[in-house]
Structure formats: structure tokens, C-alpha cells
Amino acid sequence: MANLGLLLGSIFLSIFILPCLSCPEYQKQALLQFKSSILASNSSFNSSTFGLESWNSSSSCCQWDQVTCSSPSNSTSRVVTGLYLSALYTMLPPRPQLPSTVLAPLFQIRSLMLLDISSNNIYGEISSGFANLSKLVHLDMMLNNFNDFIPPHFFHLRHLQYLDLTNNSLHGSLSPDVGSLQNLKVLKLDENFLSGKVPEEIGNLTKLQQLSLSSNQFSDGIPSSVLYLKELQTLDLSYNMLSMEIPIDIGNLPNISTLTLNDNQLTGGIPSSIQKLSKLETLHLENNLLTGEISSWLFDLKGLKNLYLGSNSLTWNNSVKIVPKCILSRLSLKSCGVAGEIPEWISTQKTLDFLDLSENELQGTFPQWLAEMDVGSIILSDNKLTGSLPPVLFQSLSLSVLALSRNNFSGELPKNIGDAGGLMILMLAENNFSGPIPQSISQIYRLLLLDLSSNRFSGKTFPIFDPEGFLAFIDFSSNEFSGEIPMSFSQETMILALGGNKFSGSLPSNLSSLSKLEHLDLHDNNLKGDLPESLFQISTLQVLSLRNNSLQGSIPETISNLSSVRILDVSNNNLIGEIPKGCGNLVGMIETPNLLSSVSDVFTFSIEFKDLIVNWKKSKQGLSSRHLDIYTLFDLSKNHLSGEIPASIGALKALKLLNVSYNKLSGKIPVSFGDLENVESLDLSHNQLSGSIPQTLVKLQQLSNLDVSNNQLTGRIPVGGQMSTMADPIYYANNSGLCGMQIRVPCPEDEPPPSGSLEHHTRDPWFLWEGVGIGYPVGFLLAIGIIFLTGYFTPPPTNSRHRRRQQRPIRRRI
Ligand SMILES: *[C@@H]1O[C@H](CO)[C@@H](O)[C@H](O)[C@H]1NC(C)=O
Ligand SMILES: *[C@@H]1O[C@H](CO)[C@@H](O)[C@H](O)[C@H]1NC(C)=O
Ligand SMILES: *[C@@H]1O[C@H](CO)[C@@H](O)[C@H](O)[C@H]1NC(C)=O
Ligand SMILES: *[C@@H]1O[C@H](CO)[C@@H](O)[C@H](O)[C@H]1NC(C)=O
Ligand SMILES: *[C@@H]1O[C@H](CO)[C@@H](O)[C@H](O)[C@H]1NC(C)=O
Ligand SMILES: *[C@@H]1O[C@H](CO)[C@@H](O)[C@H](O)[C@H]1NC(C)=O
Ligand SMILES: *[C@@H]1O[C@H](CO)[C@@H](O)[C@H](O)[C@H]1NC(C)=O
Ligand SMILES: *[C@@H]1O[C@H](CO)[C@@H](O)[C@H](O)[C@H]1NC(C)=O
Ligand SMILES: *[C@@H]1O[C@H](CO)[C@@H](O)[C@H](O)[C@H]1NC(C)=O
Ligand SMILES: *[C@@H]1O[C@H](CO)[C@@H](O)[C@H](O)[C@H]1NC(C)=O
Ligand SMILES: *[C@@H]1O[C@H](CO)[C@@H](O)[C@H](O)[C@H]1NC(C)=O
Ligand SMILES: *[C@@H]1O[C@H](CO)[C@@H](O)[C@H](O)[C@H]1NC(C)=O
């Protein structure tokens, strides 16, 4: 970089020496043409959409912003040599796309040495016109949406020293007959369809010092031709789909200082030639499929500063003694099989700023030496560490991330925790910590995330967090906290999870002052009293769980103000009255959900929030925050609700689970339930519902669980669609006269004429099921008929989708 800067700097110096010469007219025209073509590419653009105000025909283009000119050595005229066109939009995202064809005028400016068109949301193919810019030294195209393959002509740019194609949609070249496919999603799915290799011709760009193809869709092996790029200092191929082994001779690139191959599917071992890379400073190999032992020579690389090996299938030889010659700043050995105590050689790394040893087999206590080292991020989650935390750890102003979840740490949190003024993320979930939350924690001005869930913390008094603070994610669930629900939190609070404690009293009346709240979880406490009106004023709320408390009173009509709510669980309380008709206006349950704003958007490493416990299908389940968007549920079960179920509920098209069981609901099942097109689980059991099951339920194609037992229903169970598979008699038990093939009870009209009867019956025998014709394939009906005839007690067929959903969502951990 520095070299390049010098080079370009010396070229552009001449700007100041020859200020009055103007650029060639054809270059000016080309630039004006470029300006007008981007403006013309979308009718909603105007002259202030891009920061190109200074580009006008009355001045020399060398005087325009974003343009640099210089004179070739033996000439007095000046030409355009640099275009700094990064992030041209003046508007905030989301920004409309620009077609790559707008670049065409630029290909006439053959004197260009530097072209930066990064961050412009340009889509489409890379034009072979780039080949005309044969003097290019520096080309930055990152953060666009260039797709398809890199055209062969591109590799004629022999002078390129810097090439950045990060974060586009590029892939290897297609077989010729495939043509240009627009839809990259299809291409991504069908990997065999394209040969996605990074082109071998990359090896022709022999002057390259910096090469990034990160965050594209390249697959197959790393081309061996990269070994021709002897000047290479940075090679970044991360976040692709590269497979096979790292080229064994990668160590023959003598000038490499940054080698970034993480987040691919690379296999094999770490090539031992890497020990020849004497200038290596940064090695990113994490999140691949690498195998073999992590060799100790890595730590002999004197210049090595950043080493990321985590999340491979690498192993660590715990009996090798490491005497590092490197001085690391960042080290990730996540999931590398490191066992025993936290390796003491780490204490020699005086400049360590980031340490990730999560998902190992570490034992013993938190070392005093580590606490004293002033490390910025310490991630030790998912080990077997014990003991309490040394107070000296929090005397560091550098500490910004401390993640110790899922260990066996115990004891109280040090009282001086508030001294860690730089702490942003504190994750202590699933340990054995006890005692109160130290008051001093509220002094940590920058604290953003506090996860203390699943410990034995207790106490009635809570730190008073600054309303102006940043604390947005709070999880105190599954502890032994008591007293009233604390409410002194930041205005920024987005997630407040206090479930599974011993909180008592009523719901706070000023909940609505947390105006950004998206997730409120108070399940399994001892809360009493009515549902406060203020609760229903939080229109940002997406998840509300109040299950397993003793709340009383009725659900107000204003519930319909919860326009974002997608998970609403008030089961097992003492609620009375009717289900409000306004429930049918819960927009979040009508429209296909937006994604929850997730913590991982904010941070560069993924964080999984505490599971939210809900009734899912027939079992209690934890929904992980990462997967919340796939659930939309409304659970009113186990209350004392009465009256009829409002027909308006049928409008909740996005709903996947509706549970109103164990109430005192009466009247009929609304015909509108046939419109719950996404519903998978419908539990109406243990009420006083009467009438028949509406025929419309056969429209519910996603239905995999239906329970109408313990009501007063009568009549024929509808047949057709998924209803035909809802054939477990338990879910129809204890009604007043249901009949149908699902429960092998013939309906009266299906009975064969009693023997000796003189009545003339023209009906089919009952087992032929006259009702079955309703738009359902005959083959399937026959199968059902056979199941019915051959075994009364065979379980209903489970479909595989159902089984998959039953699994606990995979938890991603840091
Ligand atoms: C034009 O821009 C508007 C927003 O300014 C955007 O919504 C629209 O999709 C764009 N049209 C095209 C064809 O990109
Ligand atoms: C240009 O469009 C933006 C919206 O895209 C608008 O705010 C602005 O006023 C427009 N400017 C002119 C000069 O029309
Ligand atoms: C053209 O741009 C220059 C700056 O590059 C500015 O001084 C001049 O006023 C502009 N002229 C017009 C007509 O906008
Ligand atoms: C610059 O000078 C060299 C020889 O000194 C010559 O070969 C080259 O053509 C000249 N370039 C221009 C643009 O005049
Ligand atoms: C590239 O240069 C050739 C002549 O060498 C010219 O015919 C062609 O139009 C140029 N391409 C573009 C896109 O400007
Ligand atoms: C790459 O270089 C080789 C020889 O050095 C040459 O044969 C080949 O045509 C070049 N390919 C491209 C695309 O420039
Ligand atoms: C590219 O960048 C955009 C926006 O910065 C991001 O949303 C997207 O995930 C990135 N794509 C890849 C493949 O990294
Ligand atoms: C490597 O870098 C040095 C200076 O950093 C430079 O002199 C040398 O030419 C580069 N290339 C090779 C192949 O060593
Ligand atoms: C681990 O290292 C020790 C000492 O260098 C060696 O004796 C042993 O064989 C190694 N174990 C494995 C599994 O490679
Ligand atoms: C956690 O540590 C305590 C001692 O502090 C020990 O009694 C307990 O068995 C440990 N639990 C686990 C799961 O290792
Ligand atoms: C938590 O620590 C206590 C002692 O303080 C110990 O008895 C208990 O077993 C520990 N719990 C777990 C789950 O390790
Ligand atoms: C809610 O009210 C209590 C006192 O009634 C107060 O301490 C607390 O700060 C309030 N919370 C918010 C977020 O306004």
C-alpha cells in the first residue's frame, strides 16, 4: 500500500506544478457522458443524487472533484490519471442499483492509472472494456454487485498492482452453452452448473501486490497460478466457496504479509511452506475444513501478529511446549481441541488485544496473568473453566468484550466491575455465578449487551442504568431474581428478557417508555395484576411472552396496536373475558415477517440470545433468537377466556401456531380459520366449542397438528387436504358426537341400513367416504382408505417438514 501511495503520489504531484493546463477534450466529454449516463439510468435521479456537482463543461476536468490529472514525463499536456468515484450516492441506503453499462464512457480514458468505483451498487457484467484501460495500476471495484465471470480480457491489465473485487457476485466462468444467467440465486444453488474456479489467468497479473476476491461465489480449488504473483503482499480469498487444499507452495510468495482464506471449504493441512513467509503478519484460516495438527512453527514466525485458526477440524497437541517468537495482537484458536489450563505461553504476548479460545476443553480458573494483560476481547465460551473472576480483570480500560458463557464459573461478580469503562459486551450465560448484580455495572457507559442468563444470580435491587446509555440487549432470564420488575433501563433497550425468575408484583406501568423494545420476555415469574394499557402501546414489539404467571383481567381491544408482534404468548395466566376482535388486526401476524433485528448485525461475531420458551406444536420448545423469524405464534392457552372465538382471527395469515386450548371458549369454530394459510399447529382443545368442524379447514395445507379434543363438537370431521392426515383419535376425543374416517366413527348418514330394515338406502357404504372428493388426488385417498381399513391405531403419517421443525434450532455460539 505504502509503495503504491508513493508511486501515485509522485505522479499526481504534477497537478500543482502545471495548474493551468486543461485536460483533453475527449476525456472531458467522456466524463460528462459518464455523469449523464448515471443520471439517466433511473428517472428518479437528479443532479444532486451523486456528488458530481463540480463536473461541468465550463471548467477543465482536471479541476473537478474526484478527478486527478498528471503529465506523462516527456509531455506538457495533462491527462486524467485517477478517478476516485467511490460511494458516489449522496442519499442514504438503500440505494438503487446502477447498471454496469454506465461505465462505458470511462473506457475511453486510456490514461487512467487509478480507478475506484467501489460502494456504488453497480450490477451487471464486468465489461471487457476494462481491457482498454491498460495503464491501470489500482482498480477498486469492491462492494458492488458485479456478477457473472471476470472476462478474459480483464487479465490483460498487466500493470495492476491493486485489485479489489470484494463483495460482488462474481463466480468462475460458465461452460459456453449456459450463456449469461441473470438469476444468481439459481446459480448458487446449482454448483455443478458452473465451473466456479478463480480464473487461472489471474497469474498473468504479475505486478499484483494486493488482490482481494473476498465475498464472491468462487468455488473449486485456489488456482495454482497465484504462485506466479511474486509481488503479492495481500491475498484475500475469504468468504467464497473454495474447496480442496491450500496450494502446498503458497510459501513461495515471498512478500505475503496478509493471507486471508477464511470462510471457505478448504481441506487438508496448513501447508508447512507457510513458515517460509517471513513477512507474514496476518493469517486467516478460520471457518474452513482444515485438518491435522496445529504446528508449533506457526508461533516461530517472528512478524506474525494476527492468527486465526478457529472452527476447522484442526487439533492441538497439548503436550507440545510452545515458546513463541511472534508477538501476537489477535489470536483465535476456537474449537481447536486445546485442553488443560489456559496455555501460559499466551502471557508472553504482551500486545494481545483479541483472544478467542472458545469451544475447547479448557479447565482450571481464570488466570490472574490473563486478567492483568489488558486484552480487549476475551472469548472463552464453551469450556469447563471454574472459579470466580479476578477483580483485576475489570481494572482494564481496554476490555470491551468478555464472553464466558457455558463454563462453570461461580462466585459473585466483583464489585468493581464498573471500573471496566470500555466494556461493551458482557456474556456470562450458563455458568454458576451467584449473588447480586453489582451496582457499579451501571457506570459502564458503553455497555451494549448484558447476558447473565442461566446462572444463580439473585437479589431484589438492580443497578439503575442510565436512560441515555447504550444498553440495548439485556438477558437476565433463568436466575433467582426477585422483587418487582426492574424498569430503570436505557431508552435504547431492544431486548429485555427477564423470564424464569421470581419476579412478583404487577407489570410496570411505564413499559411503553422503552420505545425501541422489540422483545419482552417475562415468562415463568410470579407476576400478578392486570395487563397494563401501556404494554399495548409498544408498536415496535415483535416478541411478547408473559406465559406462566398469574396475570388477570381481560385482554384489551388495544392489543391491535401491537402492530409488529409476531410471537404473542400469554398462556397459563388467569386472564378472563373475551378474545378481543382487534386481534385480527395484528399486522405482524398477517404479513410475512421481516427479520428480527438481530444482535449479529451489530457485531462482527455472532451472538445467540437466550432461548425463548414457547409451546411449539405439542411440546415446550426453546426458540433461538436467530430463528425467531420462522415462527409466528399466538398462544392464549390455559386462561379463563370465554365467549366466542372472533372470526377476525382468520385474518392472521402468517400465523404458524394458534393455541387457545384450556379456556372456556364457546360457540363455533370460525369458518374463517380456513384462511390461516400458514398455520401448522391449531389447538382448540379443552373448551366448550360446539357445532361442527368447518369444512374450510381442508384448505390448510401446512397443518400438521390439530387438536379439538374435549369440546362439544359434533358432525363429520372434514376430509381432504391435510385434514385427511389428522387421524389421531386422541385429538378428537371427548366431544359430543364427532364422526368421520379419521376417528373410524361412521357418521349417521354413512351407516348401512340396519338389517331387516325396509327403508331403501341408496347411499354408498360408509367406508367409501362420499365427502372425500373435494379436490384431492384419488391415489392419496386410497392410501388413507387402506390405512384406515388395515390398522386402527397406526399413527398418522408424519411429513418430513414437520419432523424437521420439531428439532431444536441449531445454536450458534461465539
Ligand atoms: C430508481 O430509483 C428508485 C428509488 O430512487 C428505486 O425505487 C427504483 O427501483 C429504481 N429503478 C431502477 C430501474 O433501478
Ligand atoms: C433530487 O431528488 C431528491 C430525492 O431523491 C430530492 O430530495 C431533491 O430535492 C431533488 N433535488 C432537485 C434539485 O430536484
Ligand atoms: C463549474 O464548476 C466549477 C468548479 O469546478 C465552478 O467553479 C463553476 O462555478 C461551475 N460552473 C457552473 C456553470 O456551474
Ligand atoms: C516519450 O519519450 C519516449 C522516448 O524518450 C518515447 O519513446 C515516447 O513515445 C514518448 N512518449 C510520448 C507520449 O511522447
Ligand atoms: C476499446 O478500444 C478499442 C480500440 O482499441 C475500441 O474499438 C473499443 O471501442 C474500446 N472499447 C470501449 C468499451 O471503449
Ligand atoms: C497469460 O500469459 C500467458 C503467457 O504468459 C499467455 O499465453 C496468455 O495468453 C495470457 N493470458 C491472458 C488472458 O492474458
Ligand atoms: C456485501 O455487502 C453487503 C452490504 O454491506 C452485505 O449485506 C452483504 O452480506 C455482503 N455480501 C457478502 C457476500 O459478503
Ligand atoms: C518484495 O518487496 C520488496 C520490498 O518490500 C521489494 O524490493 C521486492 O521487489 C518485492 N518482490 C519480491 C519478489 O521480493
Ligand atoms: C505431541 O507432541 C509430543 C511432544 O512433541 C509428541 O511426543 C507426541 O507424539 C505428539 N502427539 C501427537 C498425537 O502427535
Ligand atoms: C462446577 O464446579 C463445582 C465446584 O465449583 C462442582 O461442584 C460442579 O460439579 C461443577 N459442575 C460441572 C457441571 O462441572
Ligand atoms: C454451583 O456451585 C455450587 C457450589 O457453589 C455447587 O454445589 C453446584 O453443584 C454448582 N452447580 C453446577 C451446575 O455446577
Ligand atoms: C419507570 O418508572 C420507575 C418508577 O416508577 C422509574 O424508576 C423508571 O426509571 C421508569 N422507567 C422508565 C424506562 O422510564
| Ligand 9 site, residue 630, Cβ cutoff 6 A | no
428 Cα: distance to centroid of ligand 12 (angstroms): 26
- Nearest of 774, 766, 685, 779 to residue 732 by alpha carbon: 685
Q: Whose CA is nearest to atom 1 of ligand 10?
A: 408
Span 325-349, mean pLDDT? Answer: 94
Instruction: Give 40 or 781, the one with higher predicted confidence.
Output: 40
Say yes or no to pLDDT of 188 above 80. no
> Which grid cell sits at 430?
450458563
**Which amino acid, residue 340?**
G
pLDDT the model gives residue 180? 38
| Assigned CATH for 20-140 | 3.80.10.10
d(CA 428, CA 295): 32
138 Cα: distance to centroid of ligand 8 (angstroms): 18
**Cis peptide leading into 94, omega within 30 of 0?**
yes
Main-chain dihedrals φ then ψ at residue 728, nearest 5 degrees: -95, 115
**Which amino acid, residue 422?**
G
Residue 233 DSSP SS3: coil
d(CA 664, CA 602): 45
- E strands, 213-278, in order: 219-220, 234-236, 241-245, 258-260, 265-267
Whats the size of the chain, residue-wise?
Answer: 814
Q: Which of 46, 88, 90 to mutate to test the pocket of ligand 2 (most atoms within 8 A of CB)?
A: 46
Say yes or no to pLDDT of 294 above 70. yes
Report residue 783's pLDDT band, with 50, 70 and 90 as the boundaries: very low
Instruction: Give 615 or 754, the one with higher predicted confidence.
Output: 615
Span 450-457, mean pLDDT? Answer: 93
Contact 579, 649 (CB under 8 A): yes
Q: Whose CA is nearest to atom 13 of ligand 1?
A: 42
| Ligand 3 site, residue 58, Cβ cutoff 6 A | yes
597: number of Cβ within 10 Å: 16
* Exposed / middle / buried, residue 177 (Cβ in 10 Å: 0-12, 13-18, 19+): exposed
Report how far apart the first and last C-alpha atoms of the chain are (Å, whole number).
33
Residue 131 DSSP SS3: helix
CA 483 to chain centroid: 35
For the chain, percent of residues with pLDDT exceeding 70:
82
Ligand nearest to the CA of 294: 9
Span 766-790, mean pLDDT? Answer: 32
Report residue 20's pLDDT band, with 50, 70 and 90 as the boundaries: very low
Ligand nearest to the CA of 50: 2
Contact 149, 128 (CB under 8 A): no
Q: Is 509 left (phi over 0), alpha (psi -120 to 50) or beta?
A: alpha
Range in 152-161, 179-188, 219-228, 744-753 the model is least confident about: 179-188
Residue 202 DSSP SS3: helix
Say yes or no to pLDDT of 756 above 50. no
Contact 378, 353 (CB under 8 A): no
212: number of Cβ within 10 Å: 22
Which regions of the chain carry the CATH code 3.80.10.10? 20-140, 500-750
93 Cα: distance to centroid of ligand 1 (angstroms): 12
Q: Whose CA is nearest to atom 9 of ligand 4?
A: 74
d(CA 123, CA 111): 25
Q: Whose CA is nearest to atom 14 of ligand 10?
A: 408
d(CA 395, CA 387): 19
| Ligand 11 site, residue 384, Cβ cutoff 6 A | no
- The winner for highest mean pLDDT among 142-146, 194-198, 663-667 is 663-667
pLDDT the model gives residue 753? 53
pLDDT the model gives residue 607? 47
Exposure class string for 341-361: b at 16+ Cβ within 10 A, else e? ebbeebebbeebbbbbbbbbe
pLDDT tens-place string over residues 202-229: 999 999 999 999 988 888 899 999 999 9
Pocket of ligand 7 (CB under 6 A): 143, 167, 215, 239
Local structure of residue 752 (DSSP, 8 states)? P
d(CA 357, CA 342): 8
d(CA 105, CA 173): 26
Q: pTM of the prediction?
A: 0.81
22 Cα: distance to centroid of ligand 3 (angstroms): 14
| Ligand 4 site, residue 74, Cβ cutoff 6 A | yes
514 Cα: distance to centroid of ligand 12 (angstroms): 10
Report residue 173's pLDDT band, with 50, 70 and 90 as the boundaries: low
pLDDT tens-place string over residues 239-283: 999 999 999 999 999 999 999 999 999 999 999 999 999 999 999
- Nearest ligand 7 atom to alpha carbon 216: 13
Q: Tell me how far CA of residue 373 lies from CA of 261, 355, 376, 397, 519, in angstroms.
A: 29, 11, 9, 11, 37
pLDDT the model gives residue 510? 87
Residue 629 DSSP SS3: helix
Main-chain dihedrals φ then ψ at residue 460, nearest 5 degrees: -110, -20
Q: Which residues contact 534 (CB under 8 A, 6 or more apart)?
A: 508, 509, 510, 511, 512, 513
Contact 734, 709 (CB under 8 A): yes
pLDDT the model gives residue 256? 95
Say yes or no to pLDDT of 355 above 70. yes
Fold of 500-750: 3.80.10
Q: Whose CA is nearest to atom 7 of ligand 11?
A: 432
d(CA 756, CA 86): 93
